[in-house]
């Protein structure tokens, strides 16, 4: 297992940051995010906390370094180049914190990446206790990000969630056999796992930087134009990224066959 930890600060109030979190896609740094859906959302009547589960569909490539380690046919051409990310968040508006967790749902045997963040309103010294929402131009919000990487490569759970839906192909056989043979014989399982975890780790440094840049753009738009400003910015981002038709045409073009794209033109 490998860990990554990062602590940073947004120069915005907690309400703004938490709003931006829900509003962060699309932004110019999120072109790889194709769709976002809310799976579940409720306020816990006991605590007043808002619980949200979202499903993101992202464009993703298996990193070349990992691809080299995989048996032929896994992670290569049979992969759709898209992956599902499950994101859960809990917001406590009164206490001024939000906790998020994102994890990949497929390929978890090769590499499971779990990103956890805790956003916390910064209490400035000498200030009164009245931190009302939305105002507070000089408030700040601290974020602690922890990412855990775990590979169980070679432990017979290679495909994780992917196995049910997409492995009625010859590659499913390779899943169990390949790690024991050939090239793999020369590497210890632990060594391969470590390599995969490190590749994931290196990728994450960049991803976290981009994601913060994206959040800051959304926050800037919020500050200048409110929610309307954010939505207008999004519309432009979406057109820039996918054209006026929006991203779903692409999703369906490359998606599984049963929903062939219908041309309404």
Partner 1 sequence: MAASIAPECNEIKEKYDTCFLKWYSEKYLRGNTSSNECEELFKKYRTCLNKVLKDKGIESMLEDARKSNKENDAEYLKPT
For residue 85, CA distances in Å to 8, 55, 190, 233 come to 23, 6, 26, 24
Nearer to partner 1, 82 or 204 (CB): 82
Nearer to partner 1, 53 or 187 (CB): 53
CA 137 to chain centre: 29
User: Could you tell me which of 142, 115, 118, 97 has the C-alpha nearest to residue 208?
Assistant: 115
Q: Smallest distance from the beta carbon of 106 to partner 1, in angstroms?
A: 8
Q: Smallest distance from the beta carbon of 206 to partner 1, in angstroms?
A: 22
User: Could you tell me which of 184, 185, 162, 182 has the C-alpha nearest to residue 172?
Assistant: 162
Binding site for partner 1 (CB under 8 A): 1, 15, 18-19, 22-23, 25-26, 33-39, 41, 43, 45, 48, 50, 55, 57, 84, 86, 91, 93-94, 103, 105-106, 108, 112, 132-134, 150, 160-161, 164-165, 227, 231, 234, 238, 246-249, 251-252, 255-256, 258-259
Nearer to partner 1, 34 or 74 (CB): 34
Q: Smallest distance from the beta carbon of 22 to partner 1, in angstroms?
A: 7
Nearer to partner 1, 39 or 124 (CB): 39
Q: Smallest distance from the beta carbon of 4 to partner 1, in angstroms?
A: 16
Give the contacts of 162 (CB within 8 A, at least 6 positions apart): 106, 107
Burial class from Cβ neighbours inside 10 Å (0-12, 13-18, 19+) for residue 216 reads middle
Return the ∠ at Cα 61 (arms to 260 and 172), rounded to 5°. Answer: 75
Q: Smallest distance from the beta carbon of 7 to partner 1, in angstroms?
A: 21
Q: Smallest distance from the beta carbon of 227 to partner 1, in angstroms?
A: 6
First vs last Cα of the chain: how many Å apart? 51
Q: Smallest distance from the beta carbon of 105 to partner 1, in angstroms?
A: 5
Cross-strand pairs, 113: 149
DSSP code string of 61-130: ---HHHHTTSPTTSSSTTS-SEEEEEEEEEEETTTTEEEEEEEE-BSTTT-EEEEEEEEEE---TT--S-
Nearer to partner 1, 144 or 249 (CB): 249
Nearer to partner 1, 53 or 65 (CB): 53
Nearer to partner 1, 20 or 184 (CB): 20
């Amino acid at each position: 297992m490998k860990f990554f930890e990062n602590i940073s600060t947004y120069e915005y109030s907690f309400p703004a940051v938490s709003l931006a979190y829900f509003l962060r896609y699309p932004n110019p740094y999120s072109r790889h995010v194709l769709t976002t859906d809310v799976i579940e959302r409720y306020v816990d009547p006991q605590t007043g906390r808002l619980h949200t589960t979202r499903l993101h569909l992202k464009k993703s490539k298996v990193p070349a370094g990992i691809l080299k380690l995989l048996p032929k046919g896994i992670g290569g051409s049979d992969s759709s180049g898209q992956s599902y990310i499950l994101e859960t968040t809990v917001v406590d508006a009164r206490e001024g914190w939000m906790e998020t967790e994102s994890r990949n749902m497929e390929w978890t045997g090769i590499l499971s990446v779990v990103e956890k963040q805790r956003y916390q309103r910064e209490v400035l010294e000498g200030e009164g206790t009245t931190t009302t929402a939305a105002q507070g131009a000089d408030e700040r919000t601290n974020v602690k990000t922890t990412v855990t990487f775990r590979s169980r490569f070679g432990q017979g759970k290679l495909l994780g969630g992917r196995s049910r839906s997409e492995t009625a192909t010859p590659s499913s056989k390779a899943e169990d056999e390949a790690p024991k043979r050939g090239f793999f014989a020369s590497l210890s399982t632990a060594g391969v796992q470590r390599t995969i975890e490190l590749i994931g780790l290196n990728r994450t440094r960049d991803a976290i930087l981009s994601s913060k840049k994206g959040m800051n753009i959304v926050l800037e738009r919020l500050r200048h134009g409110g929610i309307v400003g954010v939505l207008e910015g999004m519309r432009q981002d979406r057109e820039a990224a996918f054209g006026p038709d929006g991203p779903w045409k692409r999703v369906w073009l490359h998606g599984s066959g049963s929903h062939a794209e219908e041309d309404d033109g």
